[in-house]
Amino acid sequence: MKTMLVFSTVYTFAVLFVSTTAEPKSTSCNEVRAAYSSKGFNSNDVPNKGIHGTHLKVCPQEYSCCTLEMEEKLSQQSHSDLKAPISQLSTNLQSTFKQRHSHFDQFFRELLDNAERSLNDMFVRTYGKMYVQNAELFKHFFQELKRYYVSGSGVVNLDSMLSDFWEDLLERMFRLVNVQYEFSDAYMECVSRHTEQLKPFGDVPRKLRLQLTRAFVAARTFTRGLALMPEVVNKVSTVNASPSCVRAAMKMMYCPYCSGQISLKPCQNYCLNVMRGCLANQADLDTEWNNFLDAMLSLAERLEGPFNFESVMDPIDVKISEAIMNMQENSMQVSQKVFQGCGQPQPGKGFRSRRSVKETGFTGRFRPYSPDARPTTAAGTSLDRLTTDVKKKLKHAKKFWSTLPETMCVGERITSGDDCWNGTAKSRYESVVMGNGLANQVSNPDVEVDITKPDLVIRSQIAVLKEMTSWLKAAHSGNDISSDQDEDGSGGEESGSGCDSPSCEVDRDIYFSTMATPINPRLVKMVHQDTSGGVRVAHRSMALALSALVLALLAPHWR
């Protein structure tokens, strides 16, 4: 009797076990069919009830609502689902810095145009025909500055260009202040050779060279850095996922479908291991990416302070005018030194002593300008506003690549806690989370990663970032070491101040506003910083009037 009872009990358990294991056979796949169809696939691919999963290559080989064909299609879908958020994040980052590059580039170009227009308006009113007849000298000056901004030292040697400008200006002015003499080309070559020694324009050429070099190198290098960011992001974000990554993504995202648990999401740590394995190469970009961003932020500080492009270009007309006045005020001493060094020139033929002031266009009135309220000078903004905005964006972009897995494994994509998909079942995920980068994936439990084969596209972008970082650091010191592969140029030369400390301050001794219209009068104000920290302000209106008068008196002889 006992034997019969034991047999009956065993039989009952056996029946219950068989019925339990066989239960998936009768499980409906209707929910899977609806979810599968919502992905754009044919719902007829889904079996009506669960079938044995021995045919599956990725998902657990238990009773399943997936066929091999469904698994292959869901693998393709998982690849797209993996790329979509990465692509969206990358596109947003590209768009952000394409915009900032456009804003900075437009601002710098318009500032150059405004500075040229301002100088022309001021000099026409101040010097009249005498300026107009020599306007090509200043036009060429600005053309070369624009070419240097676009193409760098491979096309325009800034030091040489500025030296040529001052030599040419000296030659023209020397003839004007010594109109009673005849000068041969050979004689003027002698004058040009002694420009540095004579210092006819005072300290303006030296100071302006340092200011222009630092400001232009900083501006163009920073702009190139902004242009590089979208290029790097685009190339890195389009790197294809490896087959092992696609397999792991399929297992994480869609194997719950096959088991009929369409609402089951992966465990967070499971997701992190999959994504860190898939994005291991991208994470290796992070170190050089962050170094590049730090260099950009550091150069942005220079643009706001001592290498401020706006504070150099905005008053450039006044600085050149000051140089001209220095030459006029010291014309007798300069001429005597030239006559001693180059010989006594021959008196001119038909020299007339009659003088007139009728041709002067000088008004003697200028609009005052306060350095405390810098106007909006170009592109509807100011350099301060641009740099403040871009610094926030640069800081936000730091660690972009190393935090991608965390960004992907949040919100609706995962389930926090233990009631989640761990890759095989609805349970706690027990494995240790791997670190970022290729070297840390050697023991990744969810993605097979060959750490001996780094992605070549990403390695090349690491090299590109490293090179750009070296250019940014050089620009921070006022040096241009870039290869200058811009629109017009190739090859590169080093040029700059060699300044590498915060004490390298641009000599903000002149402030001047860009004029809205050429008819508005303005007052030129020269601000000099003395060693005691005090500020003395000297009004230049009278000096401008006197200088214009000197030139006007000489105008008949020049003609």
Q: Are the C-beta atoms of 261 and 483 separated by less than 8 Å?
A: no
475 part of a folded domain: no
418 closest CA partner among 272, 268, 273: 268
Residue 517 dihedral angles phi and psi, to the nearest 5°: -135, 155
Q: Using the structure block, give the residue that is written with the tokens 């899977």.
A: 32
Would 331 be classed as within a structural domain?
Answer: yes
CB atoms closer than 10 angstroms to residue 136: 10
- What is the count of structural domains for the chain? 1
- Phi and psi of 420, rounded to 5°? -145, 170
End-to-end CA distance of the chain: 140
Q: Quick check: is 535 in a domain? A: no
Q: Which domain holds residue 188?
A: 71-440
β partners of residue 52: 63
Q: Is residue 358 part of a domain?
A: yes
Token duo for residue 190: 């002698």
Residue at 22 is within a domain: no
Of residues 464, 166, 436, 212, the one with CA closest to residue 327: 166
Determine contact, residues 512/317, Cβ cutoff 8 Å.
yes
How large is the angle between the packed helices 316-329 and 204-237, nearest 10 degrees? 160
Tell me, what amino acid is at 451? I
Q: Is residue 491 part of a domain?
A: no
Cβ pair 155, 488 in contact under 8 A? yes
User: What Å distances lie between residue 13 and 5, 6, 10, 277, CA to CA?
Assistant: 13, 11, 5, 45
Q: Which amino acid is at 256?
A: P
Q: Is residue 509 part of a domain?
A: no
pLDDT in tens, the chain (559 residues): 444 444 444 444 343 333 333 344 447 899 999 999 999 999 998 998 888 878 888 998 888 899 999 999 999 999 999 999 999 999 999 999 999 999 999 999 999 999 999 999 999 998 888 899 999 999 999 999 999 999 988 899 999 999 999 999 999 988 888 888 888 889 998 988 888 888 999 999 999 999 999 999 999 999 999 999 999 999 999 888 899 999 999 999 999 988 889 899 999 999 999 999 999 999 999 999 999 999 999 999 999 998 999 999 999 999 999 999 999 888 899 999 999 888 988 887 755 544 433 333 333 333 333 333 334 456 567 899 999 999 999 999 999 999 999 999 998 889 887 889 999 999 999 999 999 999 999 999 999 999 999 999 999 999 999 999 999 999 999 988 865 444 443 333 344 444 544 434 433 332 222 233 333 333 233 333 333 333 333 333 334 433 443 444 334 333 3
Output the CA–CA distances (angstroms, integers) from residue 350 to 171, 180, 316, 353, 548, in the order listed.
21, 9, 38, 10, 24
User: Tokens 């960004």, residue?
Assistant: 407
Q: Are 474 and 255 in contact (CB under 8 A)?
A: no
The answer to whether residue 447 sits within a structural domain is no
